[in-house]
């Protein structure tokens, strides 16, 4: 099964630790990168959002990372939202504290790099073909409800 931008792509899910997966198939490669920034002294910004590769045991598990700047150091108390082609995923708001801890970033950090994992779930009908492209976006909201701009990367499906 391959993830893609059509209605068959139903969810992205955060997994704090890699576990054995039985999915196989497409390898997703990053095409482009966008950065966002705010400079008001309280609003977090995301920088250098990256697709770091697929998990070794599943091409539908994406290893991702993003840099952040949060002038008031309260981002760990907030959440991360994920989007596919600008539509929210079914994962909902992901708590950032477990991502900070897994990334060895202090919870009161004002800058750093966060590593996280998303699993793309694809419906069995209408699996998109190799070559399909989509945009994966993230937006962070801190504990005071200040939200970053949405950072996006372009991904395309390729065969093994």
Write the pLDDT tens digit of every residue in 11-53: 444 444 333 333 323 333 333 233 333 467 899 999 999 999 9
Taken in order of first residue, the domains within the chain and their CATH numbers are 9-17+24-158 (2.60.40.10)
Q: How far apart are the first and last CA of the chain?
A: 12
Closest to 157 (Cα-Cα) out of 79, 57, 51:
51
pLDDT of residue 32: 29
Closest to 132 (Cα-Cα) out of 100, 155, 150:
155
pLDDT of residue 160: 60
* CB contact set of 11 (below 8 Å; sequence gap of 6+): 89, 90, 91, 119, 120, 121
Integer Cα distance of 35 and 66 in angstroms: 10
| DSSP-derived 3-state class of residue 80 | strand
pLDDT of residue 58: 85
Residue pair 83/134 in contact by the 8 Å Cβ criterion: no
Q: In percent, how much of the chain has pLDDT > 70?
A: 71
Residue 131 CB neighbour total at 10 angstroms:
10
Write the pLDDT tens digit of every residue in 54-108: 999 988 889 999 999 999 999 999 999 999 999 998 888 999 999 999 999 999 9
Tokens matching residue 92: 């909902």
Tokens matching residue 7: 């209605």
Query: Taken in order 159, 49, 79, 88, is the CA torsion positive or negative?
Result: negative
């Amino acid at each position: 099964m391959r993830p893609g931008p059509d209605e068959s792509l139903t969810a992205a899910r955060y997994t704090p630790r890699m576990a054995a997966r039985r999915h196989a198939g497409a390898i997703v490669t990053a095409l482009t990168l966008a950065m966002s920034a705010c400079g008001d002294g309280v609003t977090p910004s995301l920088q250098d959002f990256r697709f770091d590769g697929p998990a070794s045991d599943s091409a539908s598990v994406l290893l991702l990372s993003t840099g952040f700047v949060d002038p008031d150091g309260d981002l760990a108390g907030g959440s991360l939202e994920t989007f596919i082609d600008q539509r929210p995923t079914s994962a909902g708001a992901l708590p950032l504290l477990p991502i900070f801890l897994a990334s060895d970033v202090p919870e009161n950090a004002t800058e750093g790099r966060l590593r996280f994992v998303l699993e793309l779930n694809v419906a069995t009908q209408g699996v998109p073909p190799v070559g399909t492209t989509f945009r994966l976006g993230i937006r962070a909201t801190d504990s005071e409800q200040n939200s970053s701009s949405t950072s996006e990367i372009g991904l395309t499906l390729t065969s093994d």
